[in-house]
């Protein structure tokens, strides 16, 4: 059994505006530590998956920076999607490319922008799930034991009886809930956070795409036939232009009868907003997480980022301030998920210089 990794790195990270921009989105910036998020994602796989077996799915705008940041990954493994078509198409494309290299591959599918601690526990979780996926041809997702009634994550309900070591049958998927529902999920004990990480044999996922998303599968066959031909990019663009935007959760995982879950025994966050960054950051005695040139007075429980210019804040609580280059964001912490609306506004008003 040989393991391959597919890292999805084409997102724009709109909730991380103004630091996250088209050419340098969330996964390509440093949020914590000395590595960007995609560098940390690749680094966590060291010792388990060889660099030549790691594939990155990105886009034309971001590919040059991905190549620059991941010098040890072969450039031909950094695949450029012509358009964003959500995760089902992205994973399908990666699957036919990996299968062409190794028909017996087990693939670990990972977002590029997660925070994960306890590397050994993380790798042990993957190894155990990979062996089950190889033996059973099941689709395995990694669930995280919830620590709070989080409304920013999807949830997965499981049968609490193990079918193998740390492997459980999945009952249902739930979209991001309201607070009351999230609290009920937490109290029930059989719901876990949906991490968006997957492990499967390459044939298993392609078979389920064939059964449950036949239109996508037909497109993938056309792409597969052109993989080593001069017109590959043209075929890929034509096929992608006709695909619907469908997530792998909605298109496959919620409908398949072959879905299993393994519990991730490590600290995890998808760092989906500035509020999440605040929660994960070290704080001073006033509950503030401050980066850069910052003055505060009578300010508590706030996140302020200002590496280049002086930012002074007086008499405010529970706020986020991002003073970055020629833009400034100020919002309440409980409104951090709404930052994406700024990006929508900028697009609508053709203010591309701020995107």
Pairing state between β 289-297 and 303-314: parallel
Question: What is the C-alpha to C-alpha distance for residues 78 and 97, in angstroms, rounded to an integer?
Answer: 11
Q: What is the pLDDT of residue 152?
A: 84
Q: In terms of Cα–Cα distance, which of 53, 248, 47 is closest to 140?
A: 248
Q: What is the pLDDT of residue 336?
A: 94
251: which 2 tokens?
């298109």
Scanning the structure block, which residue is given the tokens 């890292």?
A: 7
| CATH number for the segment(s) 3-269 | 3.90.550.10
Long-range contacts formed by 116-121: CB under 8 A, 24+ apart: 116/44, 116/266, 116/267, 116/268, 117/266, 117/267, 117/268, 118/265, 118/266, 118/267, 119/44, 119/266, 121/264, 121/265, 121/266
Q: Point out which residues pair with 257 in neighbouring strands.
A: none
Helix (H, G, I), strand (E, B) or coil at 176: coil
Q: What is the pLDDT of residue 154?
A: 93
Alpha helices in 56-105 (DSSP H): 63-69, 86-101
Residues 327/342, Cβ–Cβ less than 8 Å = no
Q: What is the pLDDT of residue 186?
A: 92
- How would you write the pLDDT of the chain (355 residues) with one tens digit per residue? 999 999 999 888 789 999 998 889 999 999 998 999 999 999 999 999 999 999 999 999 999 999 999 999 999 999 999 999 999 999 999 999 999 999 999 999 999 999 999 999 999 999 999 999 999 999 999 999 999 998 889 999 999 899 999 999 999 999 889 999 999 999 998 999 999 999 999 999 999 999 999 999 999 999 999 998 999 999 999 999 999 999 999 999 999 999 999 999 899 998 889 999 999 999 999 999 999 999 999 999 999 999 999 999 999 999 999 999 999 999 999 999 899 999 999 999 999 999 9
Q: Point out which residues pair with 167 in neighbouring strands.
A: 164
Q: What single-letter DSSP state applies at residue 252?
A: I
CB contact set of 269 (below 8 Å; sequence gap of 6+): 114, 115, 276, 279, 280
Scanning the structure block, which residue is given the tokens 């006709």?
A: 242
Q: What single-letter DSSP state applies at residue 15?
A: G
* Residues carrying CATH 3.90.550.10, the chain: 3-269
Rg of the chain on CA atoms, in Å: 21
Q: What is the pLDDT of residue 12?
A: 80
Q: In terms of Cα–Cα distance, which of 8, 194, 172, 171 is closest to 85?
A: 8
141: which 2 tokens?
């997702």
- First-to-last C-alpha distance (Å) of the chain: 43
Residues 275/320, Cβ–Cβ less than 8 Å = yes
Question: What is the C-alpha to C-alpha distance for residues 9 and 111, in angstroms, rounded to an integer?
Answer: 7
CB contact set of 172 (below 8 Å; sequence gap of 6+): 156, 157, 254
Q: What is the pLDDT of residue 151?
A: 86
């Amino acid at each position: 059994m040989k393991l391959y990794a597919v890292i999805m790195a084409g997102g724009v990270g709109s909730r991380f505006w103004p630091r996250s921009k088209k050419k340098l989105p969330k996964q390509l910036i440093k949020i914590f530590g000395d590595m960007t998020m995609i560098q940390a994602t690749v680094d966590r796989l060291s010792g388990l998956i060889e660099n030549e077996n790691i594939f990155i799915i990105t886009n034309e705008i971001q590919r040059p920076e991905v190549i620059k940041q991941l010098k040890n990954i072969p450039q031909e493994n950094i695949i450029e999607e012509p358009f964003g078509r959500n995760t089902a198409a992205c994973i399908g494309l990666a699957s036919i490319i990996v299968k062409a290299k190794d028909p017996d591959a087990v693939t670990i599918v990972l977002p590029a922008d997660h925070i994960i601690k306890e590397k050994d526990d993380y790798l042990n979780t993957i190894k155990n799930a990979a062996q089950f996926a190889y033996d059973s041809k099941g689709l395995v997702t990694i669930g995280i034991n919830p620590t709070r009634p989080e409304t920013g994550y999807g949830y997965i309900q499981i049968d609490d009886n193990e079918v193998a070591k740390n492997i459980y049958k999945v009952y249902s998927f739930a979209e991001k809930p309201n607070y009351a529902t999230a609290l009920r999920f937490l109290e029930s004990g059989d719901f876990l956070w949906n991490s968006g990480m997957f492990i499967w044999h390459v044939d298993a996922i392609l078979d389920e795409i064939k059964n449950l998303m036949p239109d996508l599968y037909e497109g993938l066959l056309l792409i597969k036939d052109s993989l080593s031909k001069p017109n590959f990019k043209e075929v890929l663009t034509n096929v992608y232009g006709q695909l619907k935007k469908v997530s792998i959760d909605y298109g496959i995982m919620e409908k398949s009868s072959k879905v299993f879950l393994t519990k991730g025994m490590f600290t995890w966050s998808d760092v989906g907003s500035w509020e999440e960054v605040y929660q994960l950051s070290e704080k001073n005695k006033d509950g503030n997480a401050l980066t850069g040139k910052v003055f505060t007075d009578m300010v508590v429980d706030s996140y302020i980022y200002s590496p280049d210019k002086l930012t002074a804040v007086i008499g405010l609580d529970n706020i986020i301030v991002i003073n970055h280059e020629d833009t400034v964001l100020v919002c309440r912490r409980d409104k951090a998920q709404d930052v994406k609306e700024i990006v929508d506004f900028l697009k609508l008003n053709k203010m591309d210089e701020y995107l």
